[in-house]
């Protein structure tokens, strides 16, 4: 005799499937994870090998001590490797006193990240919905991007909070998410971030290319006005031409060991090629490679960067001229710009990988609006971050000692960055080929126009 199965409550399967998503989207769960990730990162930064907070303790703190103590102010009295506004968070970190400078720095990064996390998980529920013809975007749709960012931070490790780049990332994330509804405010945030560390300027350019009408004008006006204000303040402080000194300071650098271009010389050093070795540059305060052709390669990287960035720009303009909407164009264009700056950079510091977070976060958000899939870029970015953490801080001595296993690892990491750039370029090409239905008027294409 067949026994009938007991009746099931209507919709029980749907409830069971939705329960994990509801738990993951609960504010208490999200914020507990946020705090836990930052506690792990902070502990690793304070106690990890090879001084993950070395620049903060030894360099940033010293610069601020000199200025407060009556000496020269970097960026004003003498040329500096960073734009002027980088001094602001460095100076604020003195609130904890010299003995607790590192802890104060980590607190500043925590608060900035918390602001961006709050916006990502609930503050922009209608931001992209204010586009003409767009449907409502529920806050839960940003939960996946929020979890991805936490995973990315954890994969990247203490370097994600231990350099000046950590200050720019939350500004860039909020700025990118605000571009649809508040392009003026978004551009101010991105431009301020660019005056802390130059790279967010690429996001401003991406916004100018991808947006249209009033939104584009707002971005340009805000960027120019903010820049004029920063330069004016610098001139009032007595900087003169020093306000742009960071351009010259960066131009004179050699090949840093982590840069993709330096990979060939690392392998040559491991093979014992005479005259090829890793050394510490006491003027730049970083490890670089030396060997036949290094000088020419360092100069060529600048040319290569210009050419690759120009290629990205032309592909972006092509897509925009063919009617690609900002929903389809903005994320891959931003990612292509940022990845190009990483791949072709002769510096190649591990903290540069943190730049990937804003365009990937935006891509994850816009993928739900009909934009290109962000799954592959998101996966590659996490993999790159994880390999980068192994390289620095945990395995840095092996890198400096050109141990073969580490050279294999950094070669794979650098190759993955090139693959990510190619993926972004392919998405850009597709955005401009009209094969994905991204014409004006489709799926809220005229964003914030």
- Provide the residue-wise pLDDT of the chain in tens; the chain has 449 residues: 444 555 555 454 555 457 777 888 888 999 999 999 999 999 999 999 999 999 999 999 999 999 998 888 998 888 888 999 999 999 999 998 889 999 999 999 999 999 999 999 984 444 444 443 333 333 345 899 999 999 999 999 999 999 999 999 999 999 999 998 899 999 999 999 999 999 999 999 999 999 999 999 999 999 999 999 999 999 998 888 788 888 776 666 789 999 999 999 999 999 999 999 999 988 878 899 999 999 999 999 999 999 999 999 999 999 999 999 999 999 999 999 999 999 999 998 999 999 999 999 999 999 988 889 999 999 999 999 999 999 999 999 999 999 999 999 999 999 999 999 999 999 999 998 864 444 443 333 344 33
* Tokens linked to 141: 């749709």
Nearest to 429 by CA among 343, 337, 317: 317
Q: For residue 173, tell me if it sits in a domain.
A: yes
The number of distinct structural domains making up the chain is: 1
Place of tokens 């767009």: 134
* CA 22 to each of CA 11, 25, 120: distance values in angstroms, whole numbers, following the listed order: 16, 5, 17
Q: What angle do CA 177, 124, 211 make, to 5 degrees?
A: 35
pLDDT on residue 405: 97
Q: For residue 92, tell me if it sits in a domain.
A: no
Q: For residue 267, tell me if it sits in a domain.
A: yes
Q: For residue 14, tell me if it sits in a domain.
A: no
pTM: 0.91
* Tokens linked to 184: 């003026």
pLDDT on residue 277: 95
* CA 141 to each of CA 130, 293, 337, 367: distance values in angstroms, whole numbers, following the listed order: 15, 50, 26, 10
Q: For residue 200, tell me if it sits in a domain.
A: yes
CA distance 27 to 19: 14
- CB 355 within 8 Å of CB 202: no
Q: For residue 42, tell me if it sits in a domain.
A: no
- CB 143 within 8 Å of CB 24: yes
CA distance 410 to 263: 8
* Tokens linked to 332: 């891959």
Q: For residue 406, tell me if it sits in a domain.
A: yes
Residue 328 belongs to what domain range? Answer: 124-160+167-431
Nearest to 192 by CA among 114, 249, 112: 112
CA distance 221 to 199: 19
Element (H or E) spanning 170, and its range? helix 165-178
pLDDT on residue 251: 66
Q: For residue 288, list its beta bridge partners.
A: 256, 279
Q: For residue 20, tell me if it sits in a domain.
A: no
Element (H or E) spanning 109, and its range? helix 101-118
């Amino acid at each position: 005799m067949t026994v009938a199965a007991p009746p099931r409550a209507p919709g029980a399967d749907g409830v069971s499937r939705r329960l994990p998503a509801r738990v993951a989207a609960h504010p208490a769960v999200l914020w507990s994870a946020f705090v836990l990730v930052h506690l792990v990162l902070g502990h690793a930064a304070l106690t990890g090998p090879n001084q993950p907070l070395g620049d903060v303790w030894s360099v940033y703190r010293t610069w601020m001590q000199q200025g407060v103590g009556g000496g020269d102010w970097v960026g004003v009295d003498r040329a500096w490797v960073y734009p002027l506004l980088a001094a602001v968070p460095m100076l604020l970190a003195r609130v904890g006193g010299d003995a607790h400078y590192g802890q104060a720095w980590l607190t500043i990064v925590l608060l900035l990240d918390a602001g961006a996390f709050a916006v990502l998980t609930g503050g922009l529920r209608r931001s992209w919905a204010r586009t003409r013809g767009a449907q409502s975007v529920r806050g839960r749709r940003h939960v996946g991007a929020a979890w991805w960012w936490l995973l990315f931070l954890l994969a990247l490790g203490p370097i994600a909070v231990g350099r000046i780049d950590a200050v720019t990332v939350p500004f860039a994330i909020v700025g990118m998410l605000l571009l649809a509804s508040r392009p003026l405010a978004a551009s101010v945030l991105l431009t301020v971030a660019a005056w802390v560390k130059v790279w967010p300027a690429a996001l401003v350019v991406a916004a100018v290319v991808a947006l249209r009408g009033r939104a584009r004008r707002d971005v340009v006006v805000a960027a120019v006005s903010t820049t004029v204000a920063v330069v004016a303040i610098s001139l009032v402080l007595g900087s003169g031409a020093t306000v742009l000194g960071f351009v010259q300071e960066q131009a004179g650098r050699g090949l840093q060991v982590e840069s993709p271009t330096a990979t060939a010389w690392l392998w040559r050093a491991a093979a014992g090629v005479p005259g090829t070795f890793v050394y510490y540059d006491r003027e730049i305060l970083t490890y670089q490679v030396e060997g036949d052709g290094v000088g020419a390669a360092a100069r060529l990287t600048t040319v290569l960067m210009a050419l690759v960035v120009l290629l990205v720009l032309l592909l972006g303009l092509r897509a925009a001229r063919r009617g690609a909407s900002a929903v389809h164009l903005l994320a891959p264009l931003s990612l292509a710009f940022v990845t190009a700056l990483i791949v072709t950079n002769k510096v190649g510091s591990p903290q540069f990988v943190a730049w990937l977070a804003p365009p990937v976060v935006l891509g994850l958000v816009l993928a739900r609006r009909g934009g290109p899939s962000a799954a592959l870029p998101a996966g590659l970015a996490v993999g790159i971050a994880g390999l980068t953490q192994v390289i620095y801080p945990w395995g840095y001595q092996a890198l400096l000692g050109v141990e073969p296993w580490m050279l294999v690892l950094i070669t794979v990491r650098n190759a993955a960055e090139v693959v990510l750039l190619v993926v972004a370029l392919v998405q850009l090409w597709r955005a401009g080929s009209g094969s994905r239905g991204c014409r004006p008027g489709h799926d809220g294409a005229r964003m914030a126009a």
